[in-house]
A and B are shown apart, each in its own frame.
Chain A
Amino acid sequence: EDQVTQSPEALRLQEGESSSLNCSYTVSGLRGLFWYRQDPGKGPEFLFTLYSAGEEKEKERLKATLTKKESFLHITAPKPEDSATYLCAAFSSGSARQLTFGSGTQLTVLP
């Protein structure tokens, strides 16, 4: 059974304090690792897809990286508007076309 675990559950940062969120996965034949941002009362907003170990993608203050066992979402010099829950999800060859989601990391950036 595919499993995705995110840590920490919650993270509080001061504005400008860089950090990383972790997503560990155990899946049979990873076909894609996705990162989403979710604001309260909203649906997830797509951020990145990573397909193979060593791949990196960047968008503004966010950078996602992927290894064979985990993915990191690095946040550089965060701002209060980066506060949200960040979800990762894995799509595998054994998952019948569905995503397996982690439980998310709730990020709060204090001004």
Chain B
Amino acid sequence: GAVVSQHPSRVICKSGTSVKIECRSLDFQATTMFWYRQFPKKSLMLMATSNEGSKATYEQGVEKDKFLINHASLTLSTLTVTSAHPEDSSFYICSARVLGQVDTEAFFGQGTRLTVV
């Protein structure tokens, strides 16, 4: 299957600082990437849909100024958590679909464990 690489896998940052998480599709092009947040023992909560070359679409309740998404190319999307607070600590996961295949499975990155201290 297609490979999605997410980096870093773990990050610890201080309150008030910003953290960038990268999501790359390694062997395919993805016009659309998705960013999820997962709380312990809970399912994935969609935060935003990232489209190459255009602004991301955020889900209701997700602060777009806090969670900045950039999808500069067909293989890279980034999520920047700005002015991080302890309540932003969570597991963040990205996924991508193969270009032109909207009905197929989405491939997921390995996830990023963010801890804000």
- Contacting residues, chain B, for A45 (C-beta < 8 A): 108
Stretch from B42-50, B65-73, B74-82 at the A interface: B42-50
* Contacts of B101-117 to chain A: CB distance below 8 A: 102-111, 113
Complex alpha-carbon distance, A49 and B102, angstroms: 13
Select the stretch in A63-71, A76-84, A96-104 that faces chain B.
A96-104
- Chain B contact patch, size range: 20 to 34
Q: A103 touching B43 by the CB < 8 A rule?
A: yes
Task: Tell me the B1-52 residues at the A interface (CB within 8 Å).
Answer: 1, 4, 6, 32, 34, 41-44, 46, 49
Q: Mark A16-49, 1 if CB is under 8 A from B, else 0.
A: 0000000000000001101010000111111001
Q: Which residues of A contact B (CB under 8 A)?
A: 31-32, 34, 36, 41-46, 49, 51, 87, 91, 96-99, 101-104, 106
Identify the B interface with A (CB < 8 A): 1, 4, 6, 32, 34, 41-44, 46, 49, 91, 93, 95, 97, 102-111, 113
In the A-B complex, list the 7 residue pairs whose CB atoms are closest, starting with the nearest: A43-B108, A103-B43, A43-B111, A101-B43, A44-B108, A46-B105, A101-B44
